[in-house]
Amino acid sequence: MSAEVAAYLEREIASRGLKPGDKLPTERELAATLSVSRATVRSALQDLESKHLLERTQGRGTIVAAPPAEVSELYARLANFESAQQDVAEMRGAMEPLVAELAALRSSAADLIQLQDVLAGSNEHLSPEEALRLDIQFHTLVAQAARNQLMTTVLTMTSSWTSEVRLRSHSTTEGRRLSIEGHRHILDAIQARDATAAGVAMRDHLADVALLIKAQH
C-alpha cells in the first residue's frame, strides 16, 4: 500500500507542476485524504525522500526538494547545448544500459508500479505523439529508479535533443509495437532484480530502435 501511495504522490507532484519549496499536506491530512494509515503515508514519503524528490524537516513539514547544486549546474550547462544526433545516440547507448542495471538493483515498489502503469497505457494504436510521450516517460522513470540524479539529468536532456528523431520511430504501428516490446523486456528484468538482463534488454532496445530509424531514411 505504501508503494501505491508513493507512486500516487509522485504522479501528483509531476502533474500539478509543484516547484522546489512547495509544501505538501501533513501526514495526517494525506492519510485522511487517501484513506490509509499515517504509517503508510510516512513510508511512502520516505521512499520519495530517498529519490531526493521531497525534503522533510522539523518545523517546515514536507516540501518539494530542490535538486542538488551540482545537478542544477549541469542542467544549466546542458540546456543550450547543441550536439550531433550520433553523439547523443552513443551517449545513450553507453549510459542507459548502466541506468537499467542500477534500476534493477535500486528500484522501489513505487517505481515498479509507475513503470507498469506506463507500459499498461502503451499500445501500438496510439498516435505517434502520445506513443513518444509514454516512451520518454518510461525511460525517465527507469532513470529515476536508478537513484542517480546526475544520470537522470543528462538523460532528461537527451530526451529533448532526440525527440524529433524518436518521433519517427513511433510513426508506424510496427515501430510502436517494437518500442513496447523492448520496454516490456526491460521492465521484466528490472522486476526480477536481474541487473545483467536489464542492461542487455536496454542495449537491445536501443539497437532495435536505431535500426528502425535507419531503415526509414
pLDDT in the model for residue 37: 92
What single DSSP character describes residue 23?
B
**Angle, CA 204 vertex, CA 121 and CA 151 arms, to 5°:** 75
pLDDT tens-digit profile of 68-107? 666 566 656 655 555 566 777 888 899 999 999 999 999 9
The predicted pLDDT at position 68 comes to 64
* pLDDT for the residue 194: 98
Residue 34 CB neighbours (<10 A) = 17
Low-confidence ranges of the chain (pLDDT < 70): 67-85, 160, 217
Q: What is the pLDDT of residue 49?
A: 85
pTM of the model: 0.71
Domains of the chain (ranges; CATH) run: 2-64 (1.10.10.10), 69-216 (1.20.120.530)
Instruction: Give exposure, 66-79, as e/b (b: 16+ Cβ within 10 Å).
Output: ebeeebeebbeebe
Q: Reduced to 3 states, what is the DSSP secondary structure of residue 61?
A: strand
Whether the CB-CB separation of 107 and 187 falls below 8 Å is answered with no
